[in-house]
Structure 1
């Protein structure tokens, strides 16, 4: 079916995830009041029940809210195809993630600025934007409970008037504190503010939530959308349309939507390169093999895919369960708790359980002393040597991920996961076919780089040492899922069997300097060699930061919005003033 023209807008934003929602909201609210169209392939995600934070593990597995992608078979993971799901509907992956808000080390942002040659991305400038986005709430401190041992925030490090709620719950479940105490007794430093720019140590991660409800890109930034912002859901974009090298429209559900100023692609690290390739922008050879007319040969599109690998270690404790597993294993009890939370002012067990993660970042000496580290390029070694940059991460307190008959709801378990940091493995996103409705072929090539295998081996060994400390060993009932020994060989065997993704795909349409042949974007997120087209999501990153990058997606959204608004307010003859509906001068 040929594309039918429906309407014209000044700006079209493709994708309603964190970045897309921020961009659409800020553009529509900018001084010249442009018309903005936000197109989202999924639904409106407007059921309040899907935003109950305590149900985040149930929501994460809900096919209504996910594009249920799989990777290609992973060579280093015993040829397993692993879960690569992405958020579906308004809010994108912020509607079905675990809501952990971490921004990573300050030296990541200074490195970003250095790699791309633009101080706009250094720590000083990105922290300013984070503060503009954030609305921090420490309900734990306000509750008067003795949580200050674990969380102490300096007001000047965080924002308090932005639209994105970042919150510590008023009451914490007992096992959260127990786990922190066990880790501290095992010799781990408590970090009272993981988002200060120095994440080293173990601490409690705040949630993108308020009063027990998750906050998404949509609920935070589209709730009071101005009338000049049009949001269309269930509008699956099939391709971008060009006039020569200029992006002029998009085709969604076989209908055409024209953009008189710019198109901003925010479909995510798997779907943004897919849409570019379907539109004729990408590596010439791949597109030609699929019979796609090449608009612009851009070899970096779909390359450089990076992700954080994750591997869980589990033991059973002698401590009795505090009720999380027994609650989620009892349908009647869980239904009652949900009714209380939804209809009695957010009270009851669902206001306490699953509100937070515990995360720790470390710099393991054995990594720096390894041959794998010494073999890295000098600039990478220099970056990794910066004092706030970790080479290891652990996550715990995510027990509802456990399922199966081997897990007894009467027993408390301790699951500590290793998450690979500063990943050097690089994969690809390719087209399965020229069919816009076919899932992309995602190959993150997890653990394909020797350095990534070294960091994960070191991290698993660290977890086993924690489990072997008196503080935890004295409370251990039995191991559930661990390597046979602490040897490299046994740990690597375990990694190959158990590792999966943290769902942090990034860097597939990366920005970079003009002399980088694989860089697709300039530092204003404009696609090199094309006009009126930007890509603004985690695909644009030059490397994957050491954090849970939903925060970075919001940051990218605000950075792009600032750039576009500044361009269209300029009086240098490049744009026609005060009439955004006019084409570029």
Structure 2
């Protein structure tokens, strides 16, 4: 999330590691490829959030051999990964060796800025870098995917429960903070912990009071398919150790003693090995290397290769392998193996704004940076009994709202969106199938834009700061290789603000963030807005500020979308890549339309569903 949280990064780097979650090495973890088999039943490219899920589930069958290839290494249980406060209000592992440290290509509509996009380069991937928000979108959101050829709520809900090991809040915490849960909405035997912290910043109560004053309903439990209103979200938090629960601690550690599951770290897949036979194309293996100057090696797949490298690196690998848009591939001298223009198209991310207000309150997150003694005491408290502010990532108070709930300009925004031809916002050389897919999505977006039942904006309250995050952007971008060198990052740009409707929505959201703080409920705290500041008043003021400050929520998705092929889709509802055998994609790139939620839980669920689809194919 955006760099306002970075005030705690110095703290996170100054503290020695206090947690160790190293797994027993019963399985094979290798940093060199000399210990690998010549072939495996399944090869998974990417040992991140989704890849470890699939690796765990497929290796449950002891007769099946599985290799996971991961560019990063195993983390060492550093505080900046494990301690919740560093992950949430701090920068966590962002900017460290566990991050690819990439930026989006300069975005003209965002003052030509290159916006940071942290991506996990570590076993566990993005689940080691994210803000630990454990949430899902509402039923209506996922069912929109069905309209373009994807899966829906009924397909995913069993997997939301399967992945989860839920611990409800203690009765005294639930009563004090008015946290309600629906026991039927959660799983209790999964690998990923979902729980509520025991510490909350006092200002959170003022936020919920402000929401009530503004007529916003309180959501009972957002994990039951209703995520429309003000709500508390659980965290991916181990309730016993008060540390991050991620794909590595959940899915790798629990499977690492299996001798049929191998993990190759520090190596990047560079190309998919293809074979043509009777007019068809099959994937038979993966080429990989430790670096640009290293020798390339090949490992064969007896059954399938599964891409789990994320929404930027999975399309990159497909394009390098000749699977993608012939127009792009020809420019780089790459022979087209499979004509699939949707690869790298449909790129989406959640754009984020941060409004900051100073509050006069005794206990706040600012105390941690302004008072070294207080910070030391709170860290000592966490070390001693896992309580206090370090035991929570700090992002607890949310509101997901439909357009009419946060602005009185809905009709103007809808009119603006409806009057625009979708094709005018895509590149003139966009393939017709991709254009048809965007037009189908556009109809859904404009249909739901005036609805109060489909949240389009997320507001997060963090001790005076209000983050406004657009959930269903109209803007689309691309991921495209610029070189045949696999170690050259692709050009990646989600097209932030390239569609005028997104700018109108974010401008309205920025005004609403100010409205929240200016409700009578916050008056006792004498709020003083510092960002964007009182000088920003007119529509042109807000738009200029938005262009200069818009950032990413670090949710890249959509580039290998689960849509019909004639709509620019890349995979079918079983995650199989169109036009080629023995190849699937299981990461966030498969999301056809980015949902109104943080991504990690949906990534886990999609990967769980993909694993079952693979098992069904091979009847094990």
Q: What TM-score do you get using the length of structure 2 for normalisation?
A: 0.83
Q: Find the aligned partners of 1:465 and 1:333 in 2 and give their Cα distance.
A: 32
CA pair 84-58 structure 1, distance change in 2 beyond 3 A:
closer
Q: Find the aligned partners of 1:500 and 1:473 in 2 and give their Cα distance.
A: 29
Question: What corresponds to 1:230 in structure 2?
Answer: 262
- 2:67 and 2:263 in contact (8 A); partners too: yes
Question: What corresponds to 1:492 in structure 2?
Answer: 543
Shift of 1:47: 1.6
- 1:204 and 1:356 in contact (8 A); partners too: no
Question: What corresponds to 1:53 in structure 2?
Answer: 84
Shift of 1:232: 1.6
CA pair 230-146 structure 1, distance change in 2 beyond 3 A:
closer
Root mean square deviation of aligned Cα: 2.3
Match of 1:26 among 57, 70, 75: 57
Shift of 1:354: 2.9
Worse-superposed segment, 35-44 or 184-193: 184-193
Shift of 1:305: 0.4
Shift of 1:185: 4.2
Q: Find the aligned partners of 1:279 and 1:247 in 2 and give their Cα distance.
A: 10
Match of 2:300 among 235, 255, 258: 258
Matches within 5 A, 1:5-404: 7-30=38-61, 33-47=63-77, 49=79, 50-56=81-87, 57-116=90-149, 121-141=151-171, 144-145=172-173, 147=175, 150-211=178-239, 212-225=242-255, 226-244=258-276, 245-253=281-289, 254-320=296-362, 322-328=363-369, 334=375, 337-338=378-379, 341-342=382-383, 344-351=384-391, 353-365=392-404, 366=408, 368-370=410-412, 371-375=415-419, 377-384=442-449, 388-397=453-462
- 2:199 and 2:388 in contact (8 A); partners too: no
> What SS does the aligned partner of 1:42 have?
coil
CA pair 299-349 structure 1, distance change in 2 beyond 3 A:
closer
Q: Find the aligned partners of 1:232 and 1:326 in 2 and give their Cα distance.
A: 43
Q: Find the aligned partners of 1:528 and 1:146 in 2 and give their Cα distance.
A: 48
Q: Find the aligned partners of 2:613 and 2:260 in 1 and give their Cα distance.
A: 20
CA pair 335-47 structure 1, distance change in 2 beyond 3 A:
farther
CA pair 260-500 structure 1, distance change in 2 beyond 3 A:
same
Shift of 1:374: 3.3
1:356-383, Cα deviation, whole Å (9 max, x unpaired): 4321111132464121243375443334
Aligned residues: 543
> What SS does the aligned partner of 1:262 have?
strand
Worse-superposed segment, 43-52 or 218-227: 43-52
1:303-354, Cα deviation, whole Å (9 max, x unpaired): 110111101111112223x253332456676566546534x34345422x53
CA pair 356-312 structure 1, distance change in 2 beyond 3 A:
closer
CA pair 311-58 structure 1, distance change in 2 beyond 3 A:
closer
1:515-564, Cα deviation, whole Å (9 max, x unpaired): 22x21111111111111011111111111111111111101101110100
Q: Find the aligned partners of 1:162 and 1:132 in 2 and give their Cα distance.
A: 5
Q: Find the aligned partners of 1:329 and 1:259 in 2 and give their Cα distance.
A: 55
Q: Find the aligned partners of 1:379 and 1:204 in 2 and give their Cα distance.
A: 28
- 1:186 and 1:470 in contact (8 A); partners too: no
Worse-superposed segment, 34-43 or 311-320: 311-320
Shift of 1:154: 1.1
> What SS does the aligned partner of 1:195 have?
helix
Q: What TM-score do you get using the length of structure 1 for normalisation?
A: 0.87
Q: Find the aligned partners of 1:42 and 1:175 in 2 and give their Cα distance.
A: 39
> What SS does the aligned partner of 2:482 have?
coil
Q: Find the aligned partners of 2:611 and 2:108 in 1 and give their Cα distance.
A: 40
- 2:94 and 2:118 in contact (8 A); partners too: no
- 1:150 and 1:190 in contact (8 A); partners too: no
CA pair 378-327 structure 1, distance change in 2 beyond 3 A:
closer
Q: Find the aligned partners of 1:125 and 1:296 in 2 and give their Cα distance.
A: 29
Q: Find the aligned partners of 2:376 and 2:490 in 1 and give their Cα distance.
A: 37
CA pair 356-138 structure 1, distance change in 2 beyond 3 A:
farther
- 1:207 and 1:355 in contact (8 A); partners too: no
1:437-478, Cα deviation, whole Å (9 max, x unpaired): 112211111011122122212211211222222222453342
Question: What corresponds to 1:430 in structure 2?
Answer: 480
In the alignment, structure 1 residue 507 sits paired with structure 2 residue 558 = yes
